[in-house]
Amino acid sequence: MRALSIRLGWVLFAAVLLLVLLGPELAPHSPSRPVGPPFAAPGAVGLVGTDHLGRDVLSRMLHGGRPLLLTSALAALVGSAVGALAGLFASLVAGSRRWAAALVLRPLDVLAAVPPILVLLLVLTALPDRTGLVLAVVLTGAPLTARVARAAADQVLGRGHLEAAIARGEGWGWLLGREVLPLVAGPLLADAVLRFVSAVYLAAAAGFLGLSGTDSDWGLLIVEALPGVSLQPWALLAPVLGIALLAVGTHFIADGAGRRARSVIA
């Protein structure tokens, strides 16, 4: 049953990923040109109907999915890398240089205490573009990844091969890359998948608040569809289902990666 859920997760994720990446080429209409009356029902104009300005909802979704996905993936990758390096370094130096571990982790703990939506608003006020969105997601995700990396590394620090590497005088790069990272790659991978889901949510929230860099952002589609939801509910359901399918698929993948990680560490 678990293996089936993981396969289902990969299928859902791959299907949404394919549609998102090929979306602009598959879109039947321009995302900015009206093709029918406002809030037209599905079938008369398009598969998902039209929005408040008569634009094809499906075309807007297909055009807005690629920026959302790429921005979220980049932000999750950078945030996971920064957090993992901070957590692994803090774990290695905690025994001999506690001040160095505290110097690395305490600022991240302060960031973790700030609500993500507040970080998003503050950063996008100063940098109202995709760079600001990536930075906001990195700042919200890196502290959590650092704690995951620290906890995972603490479980393998006492192993013989690591003690032997330290006795040989190996440098930090060798210890992190060759001795510790292979044993904690599973938990870090599972955490990176969850950071990606969080990045999707924050990117959609930026669009919902009108702070996205594109007029076809899925979050923007949601807020624009709210006034006419009784007339054309699919204009709201389509972007919500897109985000949900992407999140469900990645959660299944993260669950499978986490189970494999626990078996490796054990």
Query: pLDDT tens digits, residue range 98-126?
Result: 778 888 888 999 999 999 999 999 999 88
For the cut 50, the answer to whether the pLDDT of residue 264 exceeds it is no
Q: Is residue 205 part of a domain?
A: yes
Residue 15's pLDDT band (cuts 50, 70, 90): confident
Residue 140's pLDDT band (cuts 50, 70, 90): very high
Least confident segment among 27-41, 60-74, 251-265: 251-265
Q: For residue 215, what pLDDT is reported? A: 81
Task: With beta carbons less than 8 A apart as the criterion, state whether 222 and 203 touch.
Answer: no
Residue 81's pLDDT band (cuts 50, 70, 90): very high
For the cut 80, the answer to whether the pLDDT of residue 84 exceeds it is yes
Q: Is residue 258 part of a domain?
A: no
Which CATH number characterizes residue 220's domain? 1.10.3720.10
Tokens of 222: 């949601």
Task: With beta carbons less than 8 A apart as the criterion, state whether 195 and 116 touch.
Answer: no
Arithmetic mean of pLDDT, 144-169: 77
Considering its fold, how many domains does the chain have in total?
1
Q: Is residue 53 part of a domain?
A: yes
Helix (H) or strand (E) holding 235: helix 234-265
Q: For residue 39, what pLDDT is reported? A: 92
Tokens of 260: 């494999």
Q: Is residue 216 part of a domain?
A: yes
Arithmetic mean of pLDDT, 143-158: 85
Domain hosting 81: range is 2-24+48-245
Per-residue three-class SS string for 150-173: HHHHHCCCCCHHHHHHHHCCCCHH
Task: With beta carbons less than 8 A apart as the criterion, state whether 201 and 239 touch.
Answer: no
Residue 265's pLDDT band (cuts 50, 70, 90): very low
Q: Is residue 132 part of a domain?
A: yes
Q: For residue 116, what pLDDT is reported? A: 92
DSSP H helical ranges for 1-158 = 2-21, 23-26, 57-93, 98-112, 116-126, 130-154
For the cut 60, the answer to whether the pLDDT of residue 261 exceeds it is no
For the cut 60, the answer to whether the pLDDT of residue 262 exceeds it is no
Task: With beta carbons less than 8 A apart as the criterion, state whether 57 and 45 touch.
Answer: no
What phi and psi values does residue 56 have, to the nearest 5 degrees?
-70, 120
Residue 233's pLDDT band (cuts 50, 70, 90): very high
Place of tokens 């690591």: 162
